[in-house]
Amino acid sequence: MTDETHLGLYLVEHDLRDLSPAQLASVHRALGEAVRREIRRGGQIRYVQRIDALEEHRCLCLFEAAGPEVVRRVNDVAQFPLARVVAVLSSAPAATPIADLEDDGQ
């Protein structure tokens, strides 16, 4: 039997202003472990990507999950305070051959 649960993408914004580099490393490890525990319990979640905007004191984490509540739960378990969770769509731009770019100037 296959599970037909729809998985969506969720972007989590974290405010890093009050975290030292050591604390930041610790919460990222804890977040990865919280995701692994959730999966072992049967939760549907995947930690896709992390983007640090250090000059902005922000971190953006992308998750694929069955819903925003699963994403919130793993962040709560990791004790990684989040500013918000937003459902997002992701797409990659179509590949453009270099030759096409060079021809555009003519």
> What pLDDT is stored for residue 33 in this prediction?
97
Q: Which residues contact 87 (CB under 8 A, 6 or more apart)?
A: 8, 9, 10, 68
The tally of domains found in the chain comes to 1
Domain membership of residue 51 as a residue range = 8-92
Question: Does residue 21 belong to any structural domain of this protein?
Answer: yes
Whether the Cβ atoms of residue 45 and residue 66 lie closer than 8 Å to each other: yes
100 belongs to a structural domain: no
Q: What is the mean pLDDT of the chain?
A: 87
Confidence of residue 82 (pLDDT cuts 50, 70, 90): confident
Beta-strand relationship, 8-15 and 58-65: antiparallel
Amino acid at 61: C
Would residue 83 count as lying in a domain? yes
Residue pLDDT, tens place only, 46-57: 999 999 998 999
Average pLDDT on 10-37 reads 93
Q: What CATH number is given to the structural domain containing 80?
A: 3.30.70.3090
Task: Return the bridge partners of 34, or none.
Answer: none
Q: Does residue 6 carry a pLDDT above 90?
A: no
Decide if 70 is inside a domain: yes
Residue 71 lies in a domain: yes
Worst-scoring range by mean pLDDT, 2-16, 20-34, 35-49, 77-91?
A: 2-16
- Does 2 reside within a domain? no
97: in domain: no
Q: What's the pLDDT at 102?
A: 57
Classify residue 69: in a domain, yes or no.
yes
Q: What average pLDDT does this structure show over 52-76?
A: 95
Spatial distance between the Cα atoms of 87 and 92, rounded to a whole number of angstroms? 17
